[in-house]
Structure 1
Amino acid sequence: MLSVPHAAPTLDLEPIAGGMASYYGRHLKGARTASGQRFDPDALTCAHRTLPFGTQLQVTNPVNGETVVVTVNDRGPFHGNRVIDLSDAAAEEIGILARGSGKVELAILND
């Protein structure tokens, strides 16, 4: 019997404004986020100024094409021209951890 490969599921994405991303430092591990959750640098989470808590975002580094899906659980960033703060794990997934920040494209994952 031949096995037919399954196509990867198509994500329902709604692009939104991107810009510069930074990441939280590990020194904030355990601190309460605006949603009440404790910050976990190894979780795939982020801070965004206005999106509702629980919103899932696809974050793409246009330089290398790497993407990660994160969940909004905090508010910010409130400094500079940054549009999103990523957890350490999310920043590492897309390759901006070493540089400290980087330009990203954002899209909301719709159910």
Structure 2
Amino acid sequence: MLHYEGILLGLSTFITIGIFHPIVIKTEYYFGTRPWWVFLLLGAGCAVGALFIESLFWSALCGIIGFSSLWTIKELFEQEERVRKGWFPSNPRHRSNRRSGK
């Protein structure tokens, strides 16, 4: 009998990373780094939730989403640096919370 859970979790991880990548870019573009706490709450909530889900598959998926959300905090601040270096466009209409003091 074949067990597809591992393949599905791998695919889910791939999709989760693919979803969070543009979320980081758009969040930094429109809001700067200010919403980092949203990702902290989502990540912590999913990580804690994973502890209480009985199904191994759904618990693992919740953990994957939670830790991807926590990783997004790091990426959000790194995206700010990439924008500062000119690697990504900055939003000219948004006065973000950039550390340069502008």
- Scaled to the shorter chain, the TM-score interval is under 0.3
Q: Which has the larger radius of gyration?
A: 2
TM-score (norm 2): 0.24
Return the structure number with greater strand share. 1
